[in-house]
Amino acid sequence: MGRRVTEVRLDGVRKEYGETAALSRVDLRIRDGEFFTLVGPSGCGKTTTLRLIAGFETPTAGRVLFDGADATGVPPESRGVGVVFQNYALFPHMTVAENVGYGLRFSDPPDGSDRRERVAGLLSLVNLDGLGDRRPEALSGGQQQRVALARALAPGPRLLLLDEPMSALDARLRERLRLQVKEIQSALGVTTVYVTHDQEEALAVSDRVAVMNDGGIEQVGAPRAVYRRPGSRFVAAFVGHNNVLDGEIVADRDRFDSGDEMEGFDLGRETGELDADRMRVAVGDETFAIPSPDVAERGAASGTPESPSVGDRITFCVRPEHLRLGAGENRLRATVESAEFLGDSTRVHLDWKGRRLTLRADDAGMYVEEGTGMHGENDVSTGEVEVGFDPDDAHVVEVR
């Protein structure tokens, strides 16, 4: 199979089916040994991207490169990639060991061992020792998934591709297996591209993620960075729960540091560029202090001007865990519509002047206050509550 792939690059890749563009233009670099995930809603182009890397599809325009060499016209069987499909595609007439060893019919084991030793080693790696003589139908869904993974790894692939391999499994099993897959990938050091629509799964296992939407890439970054600093409105709304608000920049922080509570100040009438640290944003008839986007964020946020100014329209977000009951520098009063007890936390759905907000708090952090609609310890019912967030917990995703 040759040495493993240390870098995969998609250079201006476009894919059309008739008059429909499945991928508009994709530029992407996947690094040596990383677990790289393509995440997005159904129909966004993530599986098409994976199939282009595997060689099952040919781009309408652009190139696919392995370690700088153009692999666009190389057939799948000559690319040295291992693929785990969504339906596993196990051979029902073969035993588990025969399924795992199938790829070795066309090549020798990469580690110099014989075929039987290679199969036994891989079954041990995926915790299926002693099951080599069974047929796939005798296995659970999780076990079948691991057989498919072992089969893909058997020839020592240069690159491992996983196409939503856990979508058919229940939530608890997915949690357990995704960690196991990550451990195996880390132990082998093989560059891996993973496709999923599950944002939590993508954040949990990936070194980096690419969030896809409508045939293009919205943002690429480490999971923590994408979650905390979404680069667009779509990413802010798609990756996890979020409160996305639109407003207008009305003043800089310095005008509110005196403690005068803005008395007599004519909102929206100031002009000029804002302080690099904080700005004041009007959302409806309320104003909030939020951070001014730094240079890096301005480059990441679509349409963000280099120097946000008074009068600019702005979109910012606040994660539900950063919206708190009765706390925070920025305050507002909202009506509780419903609450979901999640065990270790409670998710509260709020209506604030026609806008839907979500708050998530540790269950131990819920409290009782007369007149707020909170009845009984750690319980939220209906009524009005005061909630807030600190300026540094807001993130700007767009200025226009």
The whole-number pLDDT of residue 303 equals 46
Give the DSSP H or E segment for 69: strand 69-70
Span 71-87, mean pLDDT?
Answer: 91
Digit-coded pLDDT (tens) for 322-377: 999 999 999 999 999 988 888 888 899 999 999 999 999 886 555 434 334 444 44
Output the pLDDT for position 3. Answer: 66
pLDDT band at 252 (very low <50, low <70, confident <90, very high): low
Q: How many residues does the chain have?
A: 400
- Burial letters for 239-268: b for 16+ Cβ neighbours within 10 Å, e otherwise? bbebbbbebbbbbbbeebeeeeeeeebeee
Query: Cα–Cα distance between 348 and 340 in angstroms, integer?
Result: 6
Structure tokens at 344: 């270790």
The sign of the dihedral angle between the CA atoms of 226, 227, 229, 234 is positive
Q: Where in the chain is the domain with CATH 2.40.50.140?
A: 321-389
Query: For residues 226 and 397, is the Cβ–Cβ distance under 8 A?
Result: no
Q: Which fold has domain 8-235?
A: Rossmann fold (3.40.50)
Output the CA–CA distances (angstroms, integers) from residue 325 to 157, 224, 340, 348, 383, in the order listed: 52, 25, 15, 10, 13
Which of the residue ranges 43-47, 270-274, 309-313 has the most confident prediction, judged by mean pLDDT?
43-47
Q: pLDDT for 28-51, tens place per residue?
A: 999 999 999 999 999 999 999 999
pLDDT of residue 174: 84
The fraction of the chain above a pLDDT of 90, given in percent, is 65
Which residues are registered as beta bridge partners of 31?
A: none
> Which of 166-170, 215-219, 304-308, 320-324 has the weakest average pLDDT?
304-308
Q: How confident is the model at residue 178 (pLDDT cuts 50, 70, 90)?
A: confident
The letter for the amino acid at 352 is W
- Integer-rounded Cα radius of gyration of the chain: 26
| Assigned superfamily of 321-389 | Nucleic acid-binding proteins (2.40.50.140)
| CATH 3.40.50.300 intervals, the chain | 8-235
Query: Could you tell me which of 69, 102, 68 has the C-alpha nearest to residue 83?
Result: 102
Give residue 320's pLDDT. 96
